[in-house]
């Protein structure tokens, strides 16, 4: 993990850390890193400004695949990941149509609609061995909570394992006093 922490320090020194203090994911970086530390392989949906990417890198995975429908500023992530032995690939692809590799952790921060999240969970859950982490589950509660609850109820889940809520994180922003955007962690369990 020290090598990845060095990466993040280099990014901060160069002023290239993507406005993390103001980014919606910033309050959850420690949580993302903690789960990533338990994982060798990570898939990320929704790269945006690369903030969650760096938090997941801090977990020191062996391999990380990041997907977004838009071009994202991942050049520095590619450069440093190769220097520090993390196999990192950015894919400009839609999360509803791409085929992902098997992974320990899937992080989802994409289109915040019921049908989109349910389709992602249904399509990709069979390739996830440990955790699915969902961002913005408080901010878009009406859409996302219903989607993951329906998924958990087994209405669409196609595999022989059971998924369960492990953690719901909603830190209070120290500057505004408002609740955060929300982070929900699902854990795969044997039936």
Q: Tell me how far the alpha carbon of residue 65 is from its chain's centroid.
A: 11
> CA 65 to CA 84: how far, in whole Å?
16
Which pLDDT score is estimated for 82?
82
> CA 186 to CA 37: how far, in whole Å?
16
pLDDT digits (tens, 9 = 90+) for 146-168: 999 999 988 555 566 789 999 98
For residue 22, what pLDDT band results from cuts at 50, 70 and 90? very low
Whether 177 shows a pLDDT value over 70: the answer reads no
Element (H, E) at 34: helix 29-36
List, in order, residues 6 or more apart from 190 with CB less than 8 Å away.
Answer: 161, 162
Whether 6 shows a pLDDT value over 80: the answer reads no
**How many CA within 13 A on the CB side of residue 102?**
3
List, in order, residues 6 or more apart from 63 with CB less than 8 Å away.
Answer: 40, 41, 42, 86, 87, 88, 101
pLDDT digits (tens, 9 = 90+) for 72-124: 989 888 888 887 788 999 999 999 999 999 999 999 999 999 999 999 999 99
- The residue that leads in pLDDT, 16 or 146, is 146
Whether 126 shows a pLDDT value over 60: the answer reads yes
Please give the domain boundaries of the chain with CATH numbers for all domains: 2-190 (3.40.50.150)
């Amino acid at each position: 993990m020290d090598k990845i922490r060095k990466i993040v320090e280099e990014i901060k020194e160069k002023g290239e850390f993507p406005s993390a203090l103001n980014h919606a994911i910033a309050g959850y970086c420690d949580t993302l890193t903690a789960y990533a530390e338990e994982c060798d392989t990570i898939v990320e949906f929704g790269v945006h400004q690369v903030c969650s990417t760096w938090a997941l890198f801090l977990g020191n995975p062996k391999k990380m695949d990041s997907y977004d429908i838009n071009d994202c500023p991942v050049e520095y992530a590619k450069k440093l990941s190769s220097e520090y032995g993390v196999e990192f690939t950015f894919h400009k692809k839609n999360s509803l149509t791409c085929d992902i590799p098997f992974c320990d952790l899937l992080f989802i921060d994409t289109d915040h609609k019921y049908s989109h999240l349910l389709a992602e969970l249904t399509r990709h859950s069979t390739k996830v061995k440990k955790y699915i982490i969902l961002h913005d589950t408080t901010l878009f509660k009406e859409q996302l909570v219903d989607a993951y609850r329906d998924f958990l109820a087994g209405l669409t889940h196609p595999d022989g394992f059971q998924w369960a809520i492990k953690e719901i994180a909603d830190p209070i922003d120290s500057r505004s006093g408002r609740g955060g955007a929300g982070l929900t962690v699902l854990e795969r369990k044997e039936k």
